[in-house]
Homo-oligomer: A and B are copies of this chain.
Amino acid sequence: MAKDPKSARPRAETPKGFRDYFGAEVTDRAAMLAKIAGVYHRYGFDALESAAVETVEALGKFLPDVDRPNAGVFAWQEMGEDAKPGDWLALRYDLTAPLARVYAQHRNDLPTPYRRYAMGPVWRNEKPGPGRFRQFYQCDADTVGAASVAADAEICAMLADALEEVGIPRGDYIVKVNNRKVLNGVLEVAGLLDHNDPSKFELERGIVLRAIDKIDRLGSDGVEALLGGGRKDDSGDFTRGAGLSSWQIEKIMRFVVAEFLINERLTHHAEGAKEAGLPTEAVSNAADGGFTTTFGKTIESAILWNAEALAFLADLVRESETGREGVEELRIIKDLLAAQGYHADRIKIDPSVVRGLGYYTGPVFEAELTFEILDEKGRKRQFGSVAGGGRYDDLVKRFTGQEVPATGVSIGVDRLLAALREKGRVASSERGPVVVTVMDRDRMADYQSIVGELRRAGIRAEVYLGNPKNFGNQMKYADKRGAPFAIIQGSDERARDVVQVKDLMLGAQIAANATLEEWKDRPAQFEVARGDLVARLTALLADQG
């Protein structure tokens, strides 16, 4: 990448970790975001667009997984006469930190609660990798100033609606809900949280949370080792454990394998139903309910899951007040959602959802797409998470000193769009233009008249504006543009007041499937009277769909 010393020319390159989006990449995303905005709007959320640039002071240091101040953000020193040496500006790294600033700044003019949505790019000054960029889109919805968990329930319902609106059918997604308070309750019960001295078990708690987060990769044996004496990995490296006692480990492991245990309860429940002589269908529904892969087949099993999960969690944290509070909040959320017809086939209580961000204080949510795709090594795997969020009651307090309850969700726009592409559910609006070729350079005005007429009829159309000398180049251009048709009018056609229409879609199909002889006949080209052109193309384009 070294610059050629002989040349003073700049390199035509995006900076590392940045990229350009072309054509349908831009318009498909815009169309998807417009649909999501429609759902958010219907839920009473208002649009907000804050600037890309904030003071470093206002942004704060909430970027996940970053210990150094301002690391992870693009920041620079403010210049100018009025600027003080300490004034630093930075590009926003998410849409939540700016919302907290906006709400604190404009709180006297904004309604309370304030429901807002925001869509736009955010920036992270991180090491880029494959598929990992330093600028990407987020799409957030938050409710500020509502302490009620009805606000959390509303966000979950809206997220489910938004996913369906953009084309993820019911059954292909699941919104998982948990509550940080339940997790804290588990830690309390296991003797790892002292409300009188929250910093007391900080180290152990950190190790425990990181261990829980690794269940998918290490399995329950691995997590157990990390909670106890430590774990040696395949390469022989040793990871220090939290050094917990066996009863502490047991408490926590019940939480870690909660999904399995809830499923056992459901099976038990089903057997009970059988013994009680309930109809077979209800029995098998109940038995089905537990496993993620087969889960969600029926509303009945979905209803059972959320009730069983609550009962299980209530058991687990019954000795912790915080834990009981968390379960009660989840119960209210469940009931509010159930009253609107959202059951665990769409919105599911799931203890495995932890969410990395430090600032969550209550309910947390995550939307996963459950259909399978092939990963880069050809293995099947679930598509996975496309959105996440939760309650964060302390972000605005940074500015005002007053606690302002808030909750919200952020959709990973690029991942959701990739999922829609994967499922063939992007109805791309991109069709190439009809290309009018230039046979006679002096008759440019005539060709312009043709495209003018086509455009007025709503048909995307353009005149070839390159050097018209080489007709082959014009046809290559039309191909590259994805043109459905090329229009040709030379002096002969002009004299007879007709044009030639080349059907490039049909032509491409023939070229792909036919012999040279067939191709020579060029059946995909026909003549049409100049006056009939617009009507004819309108009909043909409608046929192509």
A residues whose Cβ falls under 8 Å from a Cβ of B = 9-16, 18-27, 30, 34, 37, 41-44, 46-55, 57-58, 60, 74-76, 78-82, 89, 91, 101-102, 104-106, 111-113, 115, 121, 123, 125, 127, 134-135, 143, 145-148, 150-151, 153-154, 157, 161, 335-336, 338-341, 398-401, 430, 433, 435, 444-446, 448-449, 452, 455, 458-463, 465-467, 477, 480-481
Whether A51 contacts B125 by the Cβ 8 Å rule is: no
Contacts of A123 in B (CB 8 A): 52-53
Given contacts A42-B461, A112-B477, A153-B448, 5 further A-B contacts (CB under 8 A): A15-B51, A53-B135, A146-B466, A340-B445, A340-B452
10 smallest CB-CB distances across A and B, nearest first, come from A44-B462, A12-B104, A339-B445, A44-B433, A26-B47, A76-B76, A18-B51, A146-B465, A12-B399, A12-B105
Contact status of A135 and B52, CB under 8 A, knowing A465-B143, A465-B151: yes
**Whole-angstrom distance from the CB of A53 to the nearest CB of chain B?**
6
A51:B102 contact, CB within 8 angstroms: no
Are A42 and B460 in contact, CB atoms less than 8 angstroms apart?
A: yes
CB <8 Å contact, A400 and B12: yes
* CB-based nearest B residue for A478: B111
* Residue numbers in B under 8 Å from A398 (CB-CB): 9-10
Note all chain B residues with C-beta closer than 8 A to A146: 465-466
Q: Within 8 Å CB of A37, what residues of B?
A: 27
- Give complex CA distance A41, B91 in Å: 31
Contacts of A26 in B (CB 8 A): 47-49
A10 in contact with B399 given A54-B15, A339-B448 (CB within 8 Å):
yes
Asked whether A78 lies within 8 Å of B15 as measured between CB atoms, the reply is yes
* A42/B74 contact (C-beta < 8 A), A18-B53, A54-B14, A466-B145 known: no
Contact of A43 (CB < 8 Å), options: B20, B121, B462: B462
Set B79, B121, B463, B480: member contacting A111, Cβ < 8 A: B480
Q: How far is the CB of A224 from chain B (nearest CB, A)?
A: 37
Complex Cα gap A15–B148 (Å): 33
Query: How far is A189 from B176 in the complex, measured between Cα atoms in Å?
Result: 76
- Taking CB atoms, residues of chain B closer than 8 Å to A30 are 47
Question: Of residues A58, A106, A430, A466, which shows the largest number of chain B Cβ atoms within 10 Å of its Cβ?
Answer: A466
A-B pairs with beta carbons under 8 Å apart, 13 shown: A10-B399, A11-B58, A15-B53, A21-B47, A22-B46, A25-B49, A26-B47, A26-B48, A42-B458, A44-B460, A52-B121, A339-B446, A340-B445
